[in-house]
Structure 1
């Protein structure tokens, strides 16, 4: 009823009539309001993810060498997305010997980790090698991201990977790019030390 524009208060009045008054309703009025709001959020998330995938798929169809890969969960909802353009692919082939993972933790409206894969070129300028919007920070998710990264970049494996102290990403690196050396990022070390009052 709510999806066709009927207000929640009117829905409650209708339900109350069927049960002989508000006291006869088998649930609390606030439960109905919470359910309606939850359904609207879920519908908005599905619409957002469909719109984002549609946009990225359109780019991959129209822009040469633009690649988008995505993964759905058990309930067929969008879980992980990885995308990369031609410039990033060229950067990776030239400067992808050392890559860093910049994890923007839960800074977006859906509380999903955004991973920016980057490096430095011969002028010490930042180059982006790809982006991933992930469902969580587990070994399985990071392993998927690394496999897609390698597939998009002709299976070229980095020599060194700079990471934060996350154990899941370390395990995923050991499983998928065993030949690569991984090190903790100096910026993360300095930031964590200053937070702890060590600097």
Structure 2
């Protein structure tokens, strides 16, 4: 955690628009983590029509789900608008993460969000991103339909 915080502080010194937040539990262990660089924040200001949010992948030694916020630019290319890790996929952790994202983006919510069919995620979206269109990912729907 100390190395990560030090790295984020270095990034903030190099990029004044770099933004990060960390939530620790009562034992000073990471519960949630979010970061975004300045270029991604500026891109989001132009391309906030839709974001894809998926925590399917657990890519670290701590078994914390990776939570990237992905958008699409005017060339049809994917852009990462921020990234986080959550200890577990509970509604409260998603609320914290979505609020960190919203704060980083100056309070501007995306117009649409595409996610899997996670109920905790849906609940957090309804609480934080009021009034946006929430769609389920086609891939997840087809996978569940086949099952």
Question: What TM bracket, shorter-length normalisation?
Answer: over 0.9
1:133 is matched with which residue?
A: 85
1:94 is matched with which residue?
A: 46
Cα shift at 1:79? 1.5
Question: 2-side partners of 1:107 and 1:78: how far apart?
Answer: 16
1:91–1:128 Cα contact (<8 Å) kept:
no
Question: 2-side partners of 1:123 and 1:190: how far apart?
Answer: 27
Higher-helix-fraction structure: 1
Cα shift at 1:191? 3.5
2:31 is matched with which residue?
A: 79
Residue 8 of structure 2 is aligned to residue 53 of structure 1: no
- List alignment gaps of at least 5 residues for structure 1: 1-48
In the TM superposition, structure 1's runs of 4+ consecutive aligned residues that sit over 3 Å from their partners are 191-194
Cα shift at 1:88? 0.8
Cα shift at 1:136? 1.0
- Secondary structure in 1 matching 2:114: strand
Question: 2-side partners of 1:185 and 1:91: how far apart?
Answer: 23
1:188 is matched with which residue?
A: 140
- Secondary structure in 2 matching 1:103: coil
Q: Report the TM-score, using the length of structure 2 for normalisation.
A: 0.93
Residue 63 of structure 2 is aligned to residue 117 of structure 1: no
Question: 1-side partners of 2:18 and 2:144: how far apart?
Answer: 36
Flag the 1:52–1:104 CA change in 2: closer, same or farther, 3 A: farther
- What's the C-alpha RMSD, in Å, of the aligned pairs? 1.3
Cα shift at 1:119? 1.0
Cα shift at 1:61? 2.2
